[in-house]
Structure 1
Amino acid sequence: MSIAADTRPVLRLSSPTATRELYLFIAILLVGAGFTYASPYFLTPINLIQTLRAALELAIVSAGMTLVIIMGGIDVSVGGILAVTAIVIGKSYQAGLSSFLVAPIGLATGTLLGTWNGFLTTKLKVPPIIATLGSMYIFSAIMFIVIGGAWISGLPGTLSPLVNGTVLHIPASALVILVVYAACWVLLRKVPFGRHIYAIGCNETSAKLVGINVDRTKIATYALLGFLAGFAALLYVARLRNVEINIGTTVALEAIAATILGGTSIRGGVGSLLGTLLGVIFIRIIQNGLVLIGVSSLWETVIIGILLIVVLTADAIRNRNNPRV
């Protein structure tokens, strides 16, 4: 039996994501129209560009989260990975290192922390939610031990053009998101590694039977998420030129929410990068619109949590009525 033959049913299972993407796109239009009516500042070029820049780190992390959840895993520590990597980047800058050294150090840090999560879930057989929850507490402790209650501020803006610049009048942040999602799409759809991710998420036992190295694929996928979190940390520092003490606290929840809202099944085997990107846009539009109309930021998390519960409940009902063979 060939791997291609095994993965064909998995690709057919992804058809419901197209419907989810359409519904999400309509929801974005409706919510955007509502906020446009409620605030004259919502549909302005300045506000839209600022919203796009604010979505940059979440979009990049969510791309990696999509791969992990398609594989049947999850990572609730990704905010901690972003935070620890940002601290390493900040301390490296304070030590006088140039961006040519700081960038690879940051990417390597994120990749190493992601690999650690992959090691826990494969070699030590710890369930992903437990492994990454433990990592989240470890990473949070490291963050507070290193910086305490102080910010790391006054960092150089060498990489700021990646976030705040433009290329042919197109925001550079939009191009960065496009490149990341295009690369992840090619990885998922055009190379064996991506087919292995789908196959493991659909049926891990069958994936082993057709010769897929499940442990190696899992570790590589968690490492890739860590790499993207490290890249997001670089862009975070480039955008704000400081490291706050509460960095990354909501990133995991938002990335998981964007991924699930976009049609990726929490059970694995089904997923859509386009849906995830629409989920990121939807979340950031809601957050931005609520700020503009004067609603407390506490309601942002409440609304995201409610949306997540509704979508997961709908998925559970659909899976119960149409069980996976």
Structure 2
Amino acid sequence: MRSVAVLAFDGMSPFHLSVPCLVLGDRLGDAQYDVQVCAEQPGRLGTNAGFGLYVEQGLAVMDRADVVILPSWDPDVEPSDRLVEAIRAAHGRGATVVGLCLGAFLVAASGIAAGREVVTHWRWADRLAARYPDLDVRADVLWSDVGDLLTSAGTAASLDCCLHLVRTHHGVEFAEQLARTIVVAPYRSGSQAQYIPVPLPPDPTDDVIERAMVWARARLDQPISLDEWAAAVALSRRTFTRQFRARTGNSGQAWLLRQRLDRARLLLETTDHPIEWIATESGFGSSAALRHHFHLLLGTTPQRHRQEFAAS
């Protein structure tokens, strides 16, 4: 079980605080995380929702946490030296630090992200970049994972980032069960655009791109060309490509690759079939292609992934 410290502060949004508690709390009857909420000044805290919180734990919780989550912050408030040092010390002894939404401002203030990629809400990205010019601030993606530091965009993207953390620790199957329990999408790529103005179709029930996704997911073990995919929903290749990117922020082929990768990960975790069979069933065609994409996108091998997650 991993210990998790979640920072609360006076005047925060209770929704921001609830996201990591919801995702990492005991939702499947088999607790994987010990989640504790802490504050610089324990006791009663106000919120921006008109009601208060009572937090019992102080920053000492961070001293022993495996994961430290900073679910938001007020950019107009300069964090105290004590808080900054607690974050820096936790990271220095090996804790993973997660800055959700405006929590990126706390991450930046601690200095642990200097010279590295940080994601925050697109409305605040310019301000963060101006205040901390040594950061590579991203405003075009949902979340970023650079190993010991995760950051995410706005409120809903915090859910995606926390689910990614669960997927990293416990595998695809566990994360998908959890996503189903809390009724959210099991996977939105960190590279997906934060803000995409998508016009509603005349008939909102006729989402051709959603139909195209369902069609492709049912055929992941087969070669799927763009022309065939577009024809399945009666669109030209050019129109399909444009609408798919507008709908998802990704190209069709990039989305398809991620779906196949997740299928392979799930089969590795839940079956003992040979790697070659899993490569075929997930649409990679050969174990060499599967290993190539695992290494490129996940930084590991299919066999190592199986060894790490099959038991869990």
The answer to whether TM tops 0.5 is no
- When Rg is computed on C-alpha atoms for both structures, the one with the higher figure is 2
TM-score when normalising by structure 2: 0.24
TM-score when normalising by structure 1: 0.23
More strand, by proportion: 2
